[in-house]
Structure 1
Amino acid sequence: MSVLVYIEHAEGSVKKTSLEAISYAKAMSEKLSSGEVIAVALGAISSEELAKSGTAGASKVILVNDSKLNQGIIQAHAEAIAQVYKKVNASTLVLAKSSLGDAVAARLAIKLDAALVSNVIELPDTTSGYKVKRSIYTGKAFAITQVNSAHKILAVKKNAVALKTDGKEVAIEEISLQIAPENFATTITSTDKATGEILLPEADIVVSGGRGMKGPENWGMLEALAKELGAATGCSKPVSDIGWRPHHEHVGQTGVKVSPTLYIAVGISGAIQHLAGVNSSKCIVVINKDPDAPFFKAADYGIVGDAFEILPKLTEAVKAQK
């Protein structure tokens, strides 16, 4: 039996979250002696990009290079992965938790008669059955899920596991599949993507601003810091509601939920709805002139002061370090 990992890619690059999923699968395989780790990619992508799968821990990559799979039609992706899963005689499917991953995993749970566990943050515990720890209630609590099914699907939360970088060269096998036309019944007429050098869902560092920035004309300071850090920019809901920033930058329970390594909140008070979207961040830094701002209670580091004085100094300090 083997472990299959579903690779997501965009703009010709394998997503970091998928590489994390491969590293998780490799660690799980070593711990449970569950067989080799095989990655599967759908649609057009270069062998150079797929080689990253080997560095992350895969021993083999199966590429289903069918142009009809390029658009990411959920039904077609689920059918293709189900066929590959059976072809390699896998017992477990690992993938990154994402909007596409969630939809595909739900369909695969039915197709494979498999148990599905989402938001996974640790390797399975098999000392007494098969138990998986996962994040629940937008990161406010954890649950231990008992899995009794012979086939399992584990959706790994972003930044929950360390990315392996010392793997070996990977073999790439290109195959063709017979996918019934009804799986392509959905037609994607257009796709509107958020713009920017670094997009929020994929960002390792996020710099967000709130109403404490006083107006859209002051956002240049935030963007300057984000540029030096290689970060994405975000904002609180009130900021996007009043039109200071586009809605795709809204971070929070009703906006984009992020799990970066570093989240910097500038002039954001810390309403519970915003915290729900960022509390999975590994490190939270809060800059606010109000020492009683609720956000400080959730922060790993806090700076009480005027953002208009602190941001330029912080940006210069980052430049000096570089």
Structure 2
Amino acid sequence: MMLCKDMPMEMRNGTTVQEFILEGFPAIQHLGKILFLVHLLAYLASIAGNAVIVTITCADSRLHTPMYFFLSIFSFLECGVVSAVIPKLLVIFLLDRKIISFLACFIQAFVFLFLGAAGFLLIAVMSLDRYVAICKPLHYTTIMNPKTCFLLVTACFTLAFPLISGMVIKVSQLSFCGPHVIPHFFCDVGPLIHLSCSDSRSAEMLAFALALVILLTSLIITIIAYSNIVVTIVRLPSARERQKAFSTCSSHLIVLSLMYGSCVFIYVKPKQRNRLDSNREAALVNTVVTPLLNPVIYTLRNKQVHQALRETMCRMKISR
């Protein structure tokens, strides 16, 4: 930042940086090939698991229900989130190519944040769906009809797009005159704001406000929904039914805790300049670990999905 003070006024108000350098994980960069293999396997497993969910949901008519519709959209978003970040990280680990152009950097930031924001709004919708299914079972088919489900998903994307677009455009309009090393493994608004040599307080507060609105609104809706679900489960007459329901809920809550915990830690603080190193580790959890766990926790443990997978595989063998 001090570099800008010695520059002429006309250069001080503009952007001279044409590309950024993603620092990655410098402390363990010597383990690049091992880290490449680990992250490649995690990436492929995440894509495969989420793709299976989308494919099976579309192919099997028994899974054409609101719950699996929302899960398939969520899996699609997870594929997008990991694909926006992990391929570039793999290139860093394998080839040590850390350079990313100015435009590509902000495109990556937009795709990651847009899909992530839509995903958190969708989590709130999925929580409401489970609340209606468990707490209002007699009215479930009436309330969660196909039109309502489509409108809810559309609302998630419609709300996320202008909010994230506005924030990314705001950050892109800041002046970047050096340094150009991003202390992260992908382009995120916090590290980018940190690199700006202009007054970035308004952009910083906007990022904080949007994170607060999106994450905490989704979190509050999810907590209220699951609190009511737990109360309903406790009142179930059968101990076996209670145990089964609690087992499912606890698995979901583990994934939700990882997602909300890491994102709240990264984004819901007014000073983005602090704790950038710790943000990097938290972001790794959010971009690698949770997308890998989601298919297992949400769907692949489900008996209906297992049956649909077995029947699909049998049909494939017969067709051969």
Query: How high is the TM-score relative to the length of structure 1?
Result: 0.22
**Which structure would you say has the larger RCO, counting Cα contacts within 8 Å and 6 or more residues apart?**
2
**Which structure's residues are more often strand, by fraction?**
1
**Which structure's residues are more often helix, by fraction?**
2
